[in-house]
């Protein structure tokens, strides 16, 4: 007969390990006040608080009845607050708990800050000396006011909108190893940023665009190298290939590169990329890219150029596999799997070739899909296994009877694994789908 042990008979170490897997609100609601031993144990569990999905009433109760105890506040190591779709969540939390009383807080993520929050945050952040990761996602305010009071010399991870704000207030080299930005210029990166982040290992920038002066001083270009940078992610690079070469020469130890480029013919020459990688990126082993360009009358020339990405250098030497797709207006070549999490499937979208990958591998990372109803038919080339959000658009035809409705659903199942779907948007239909019983 199998022996059954009670939860409270387990050793302290095992109970604490179990509690770390539970949602923090459920932990205190279920175990607080049961007995002295459990009361002490739940106060030793490291707390990583994420209030994004918590309503105001529950947040207030947690602040008033749980975070009231100093020993619990000592266990808070990370905190995420947001005003998005919530009623003054940041103000509610700060009204009860001051950030500088959270002595072990090392990670703080704030989104959708309101102007009314700035005074409190500025006074508290200036005293939060143990922070090593700060993330700010808020276009509603001028982030300069918060960057100005951050303990920048202590931070190791930073995520903000603009590099300009960081450069405005930094006065000496920092300890930052991980930096995420929404936008900056190539000139800001090479001439300024690299001089302040000698330990930088990871750099993620959504847009690198031209809004500053061009680089003309060769001495400045060669002065600062970021020798510790191993991972570079660029969501959109709005420069030419020769400009990218200048950047690459400052990061000789790069191991992973992810880049997306739209409508720039200078960036899609496979032979240029081969030469750059062999001459300047000897340690690069991960290369993910998406290059798109508009169709022109002589599209065969572009298709021929794309075939150079199928050479031995790409396939055999580095195992970087690519695929080419096109629609009425554009052509796109990308590494497999497709590197973005969003995709739009038009009725005329066509796969022209792929390599040894099976169809199920191509779009594993895509979670948000937009497709036209006309693209759903029995001749499918696509399969999306991990879609959580689906938007159906531009339906020019009406499903007039039940059998057509059944066919539509069956074809949809052929290209999408519907078991993961959480959000469905049909608001952009041009006509209403009808069915007859």
Where do the H-state alpha helices sit in 47-134?
A: 56-65, 70-73, 89-96, 118-125
Q: Where are the domains of the chain?
A: 343-437
* pLDDT score for 245: 94
d(CA 377, CA 347): 10
d(CA 368, CA 387): 6
Mean pLDDT of 158-186: 92
Buried b (16+ CB within 10 A) or exposed e, 388-416: ebbebbbbeeebeeeebeeebeebbeebb
d(CA 272, CA 318): 16
Phi and psi dihedrals of 357, rounded to 5? Answer: -70, 145
Tokens of 50: 């994420």
CA-to-CA separations, 326 to 38, 238, 260, 284, in angstroms, rounded:
61, 21, 16, 28
**% pLDDT > 90, the chain:** 36
Lowest mean pLDDT among 78-92, 203-217, 260-274: 203-217
* pLDDT score for 176: 96
Per the listing, tokens 């929404």 go with 182
* pLDDT score for 403: 46
Kind and range of the H or E run holding 290: strand 286-294
Closest CA to 337 of 351, 320, 313, 352: 320
* pLDDT score for 212: 47
* In contact, 228 and 199? CB cutoff 8 Å: yes
Cα torsion through 277, 308, 207, 386, rounded to 10: -110
* pLDDT score for 120: 87
- Listed in sequence order, the residues at least 6 apart from 412 whose beta carbon sits closer than 8 Å to its beta carbon are 376, 418
Looking at the predicted structure, is the pLDDT value of residue 306 above 50? yes
Looking at the predicted structure, is the pLDDT value of residue 293 above 90? no
Looking at the predicted structure, is the pLDDT value of residue 392 above 50? yes
| CA 60-65-70 angle, 5° bins | 115
Per the listing, tokens 């050793």 go with 11
Tell me the per-residue pLDDT of 89-120, one tens digit each, with 9 for 90 and over.
888 898 888 898 899 999 999 998 888 888 88
* pLDDT score for 297: 56
Tell me the per-residue pLDDT of 196-210, one tens digit each, with 9 for 90 and over.
999 999 999 999 987
**Of 394 and 96, the one with more pLDDT:** 96
Tell me the per-residue pLDDT of 316-356, one tens digit each, with 9 for 90 and over.
999 999 988 888 888 889 999 899 999 988 878 888 765 55
* In contact, 428 and 391? CB cutoff 8 Å: yes
Looking at the predicted structure, is the pLDDT value of residue 389 above 70? yes
Tell me the per-residue pLDDT of 83-95, one tens digit each, with 9 for 90 and over.
887 668 888 898 8
**Of 19 and 298, the one with more pLDDT:** 19
Looking at the predicted structure, is the pLDDT value of residue 126 above 60? yes
Tell me the per-residue pLDDT of 24-81, one tens digit each, with 9 for 90 and over.
878 887 888 888 888 888 888 888 999 887 888 888 888 888 888 888 899 999 999 9
* pLDDT score for 206: 95
Tell me the average pLDDT of the chain. 84
pLDDT band at 390 (very low <50, low <70, confident <90, very high): very high
Closest CA to 149 of 121, 178, 108: 121
């Amino acid at each position: 007969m199998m022996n059954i042990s009670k939860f409270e008979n387990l050793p302290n170490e095992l109970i604490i390990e179990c509690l770390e897997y539970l949602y923090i609100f459920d932990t205190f609601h279920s175990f607080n006040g049961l007995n002295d031993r459990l009361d002490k144990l739940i106060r030793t569990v490291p707390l990583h608080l994420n209030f994004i999905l918590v309503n105001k009433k529950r947040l207030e109760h947690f602040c008033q009845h749980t975070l009231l105890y100093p020993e619990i506040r000592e266990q808070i190591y990370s905190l995420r607050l947001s005003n998005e779709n919530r009623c003054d969540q940041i103000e509610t939390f700060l009204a009860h708990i001051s950030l500088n009383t959270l002595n072990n807080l090392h990670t703080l993520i704030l989104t959708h800050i309101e102007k009314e929050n700035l005074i409190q945050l500025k006074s508290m952040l200036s005293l939060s000396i143990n922070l090593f990761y700060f993330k700010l996602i808020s276009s509603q305010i001028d982030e300069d006011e918060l960057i100005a009071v951050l303990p920048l010399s202590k931070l190791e991870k930073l995520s903000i909108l603009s590099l300009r704000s960081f450069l405005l207030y930094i006065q000496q080299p920092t300890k930052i190893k991980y930096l995420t930005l929404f936008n900056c210029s190539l000139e800001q990166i090479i001439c300024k940023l690299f001089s302040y982040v000698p330990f930088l290992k990871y750099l993620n920038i959504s847009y690198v665009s031209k809004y500053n002066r061009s680089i003309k001083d060769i001495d400045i270009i060669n002065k600062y190298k970021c020798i510790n940078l191993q991972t570079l992610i660029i969501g959109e690079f709005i420069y030419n290939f020769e400009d990218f070469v200048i950047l690459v020469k400052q990061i000789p130890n790069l191991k992973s590169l992810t880049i997306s480029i739209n409508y720039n013919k200078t960036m899609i020459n496979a032979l240029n990329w081969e030469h750059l990688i062999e001459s300047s990126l000897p340690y690069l082993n991960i290369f993910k890219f998406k290059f798109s360009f508009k169709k022109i009358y002589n599209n065969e020339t572009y298709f021929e150029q794309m075939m150079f990405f199928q050479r031995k250098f790409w396939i055999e030497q580095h195992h970087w596999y690519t695929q080419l797709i096109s629609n009425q207006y554009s052509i796109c070549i990308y590494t497999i799997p497709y590197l973005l999490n969003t995709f739009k499937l038009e009725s005329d979208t066509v796969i022209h070739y792929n390599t040894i990958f099976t169809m199920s591998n191509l779009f594993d990372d895509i979670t948000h899909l937009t497709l036209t109803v006309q693209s759903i038919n029995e001749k499918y080339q696509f399969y999306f296994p991990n879609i959580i959000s689906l938007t159906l658009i531009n339906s020019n035809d009406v499903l007039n009877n039940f059998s057509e409705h059944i066919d539509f659903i069956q074809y949809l199942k052929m290209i999408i694994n519907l078991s993961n779907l959480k959000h469905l948007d049909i608001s952009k239909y041009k006509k209403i789908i009808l069915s007859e019983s």
